[in-house]
Amino acid sequence: MPAMAKKSRSPFLRILSRLLAPGRGEVRALEEAMHLQGVLRFVAVIAATIVGPSLVLAYFAVHAISVEELAAEDELSRTAEGVAQGFWRQVEADFSAFEESTLTRLEAGRSPLERARELHPLILVALRFDADGVLLAPFTLSASTDYPKSYLFHPDVRSAAALMQTDPAAAAQQFGQLTRQPLPPAVQARAKLDQALVLEMLGRQQDALIQLDSLILGASDLRDSWGFRIGDLARLQQGEIRMRLEQERGIASLRELLNDLLEKPWTVGQGSEAAVANQALSMLEPHEEQEWVTRVRGQIAERNEMLYWTGELLDEIRHIPDSRKASSPAGELWWHEGERSMWAITRWGGGSYTFGLDRQELITQLKAAARASTHPTAPIEASLIAPDELPPEHTLAIRSLDPWLANWSVVTTLRDPAAIAAENAQKRTQRIAIIGFAIAMMGVGAVLSARLISRELDVVRMKTDFAANVSHELRSPITQIRLKAESLILGLAETPDEIEEHYNIVLRESERLSRLVDNILDYAAIERGSKQYILRIGNIAETVERAIESVRSTLELKDIELILDVPYDLPPVHHDTDAITQCIVNLVSNAAKYSPGGSQVRLHGRVVEGVELTISDEGIGIAAHDLRKIFDPFYRSRDSLARRQKGTGIGLTITRYIIEAHGGSISVQSRPGKGSTFTLHFPDEPPPPPARGTI
């Protein structure tokens, strides 16, 4: 090789050629190195332009997934904070509305005790205390509950009560005697009240009214054995009598009694005021508008219910700490959580107002409101936790409900952490799978491109080899023909045997040259799509014999024994005689070429769903990796034993095309070192119209 050519090689190419040189030779190693260098260059370009950027994009895509997950977590936390803050504002709005309404009433000079539940629907009690903590309104605490129960068991009272149905006059006289006896004032007052009742029964309404007036003036606040105020009972009885005598005056009296009862404090532990008020309202109901009756009955019921709760919560009221009473501004509510009630207290006018809300119902409503503050399908949920509860797991936000509910908090948590984690994992897996799929597709594209380029390089190399091999194949018979012809012309062959041998060599090499040219021309026609075959029905055995005759001399020259077993009674086959002859010649020539001298080549024919011809040899065989490619154009095995034999690489390609054009098929079985077997199969039925096309 010239020195300049050697110098033009790159160091990388020189290294590759040295590594590949053992077993190949310098020239072949250089060819392989140049081919490999081209492939490696293409791989480097693919890596730099596709694989590298793909990996970078994959990294940033995975990083973006992590950033997106963190952003989703932050968004979830912000949402949770917003839910907790929104619930706190809802609670603030509820309690602030109550505080503002209370202050508005106080500043307007209206009592917040009047219709207290208009301030807040959960109010159980609304009370006013003086500066010393004494209950002033709407209830009072009785100084004593020791009412004159002895009245019920006094013998004169029992005797008079027995006479009321049989002898009312005697009963009135006995009740009158009781009023003059040295008895407690409450006993005397009750006797006068019963006497007035008997006088009314006797028709002495005026006397009864005079008796009742004296009780109203002199014993109004005394209580009887049942805890009723004598004055209230006297006024009720007086109104009833007047209703009979003078209806309008009676109605006015009962109205006045009702107003006084609703304005005056009721006594805690007693239900007498409510009973008297309901009785008076029942007598007025037929004569009043229904709306007024309903409103007053509601006021009585509300006052009576608050009276009950005041008695129930009295001990709790007494234990409300007053540390903030002096320090809190007038009109500002401060809150205290009791066992059964939520207490709101404010200073005003030298005293204080205390409101007790139903704690249990308030907590229940707040818990329900917390649950309702998030949609059932939302990933987070809100709940209320008590002072002694720990925040639940997966808490995202927590907000105290001070100053209204000390140590109570609203918390927002993940509704279903496992489901959210599974959903996030699924999304992450899907996105990574998409990224991986995209990268894989890029990789597949790169690999396919590399294979395509490699295949194109292989084709170029095989065409180069084809040109070189064809040149060699053409030169060899031409040289033989020229040498033998010159020998005959110059008379160098003297004996008849020598002359005949020279003529035979010229004939054999001419036939070889013809076959080579035919193969090349046929392949060119096949590649152009202009090759056509005329299929006629005929005896395939005759065609086989014709083909064998054309290669017999080649077999004899290499000392190859041909064993022909093709029966003449095989079914007729539609075939182009010249084309099938070419196929058999190619296969038998290849068998002889790659078989050692003294071996056998067998050609066998049989009926197998048509006609089948097999050509078997005892040659070098074909490697497994070559079996898939031996029918490809220009392909030649890289096995050193196979490459010792020259060839064009198109013989088997033409053979496959011809057989397929006949509607048949060709297959091969081979083991390295054991020989090869090619099988041609011709179908029973005539093939479709003459085929034309490219390989």
Mean pLDDT by 10 residues, the chain (695 residues): 48 68 62 68 71 73 75 85 91 92 91 90 92 88 61 76 84 84 84 88 89 87 84 91 90 92 88 91 92 92 91 87 66 88 89 92 92 88 89 88 88 85 80 79 74 66 57 63 74 73 72 68 64 83 85 78 88 86 86 84 89 89 79 64 55 83 88 88 75 43
Please give the single-letter amino acid code of residue 243. M
pLDDT given at position 367: 92
What is the model's pTM? 0.57
Determine the pLDDT at residue 6: 45
Helix (H, G, I), strand (E, B) or coil at 357: strand
pLDDT at residue 551, rounded to an integer: 80
Predicted pLDDT at 357: 94
Alpha-carbon gap, residue 695 to 690, rounded angstroms: 15
**H/E element holding 113?**
none
| Amino acid code (one letter) for 384 | L
d(CA 645, CA 469): 10
Q: Tell me how far apart the alpha carbons of residues 355 and 343 are, in angstroms, rounded to a whole number.
A: 6
The closest alpha carbon to 216, from 244, 239, 246, 198, belongs to 239
Per-residue pLDDT, 208: 87
In CATH terms, 522-682 corresponds, of 3.30.565.10, 3.40.50.720, 3.10.129.10, 3.40.50.300, to: 3.30.565.10
- Position 644 scores a pLDDT of 53
Domain limits of the chain?
113-141+268-372, 522-682
Q: What is the pLDDT of residue 460?
A: 59
3-state secondary structure of 441: helix
DSSP line for 455-513: HHHHHHHHHHHHHHHHHHHHHHHHHHHHHHHHHHHHT---SHHHHHHHHHHHHHHHHHH
Q: Give the E-state strand segments of 62-141 in sequence order.
A: 123-129, 135-137, 139-140
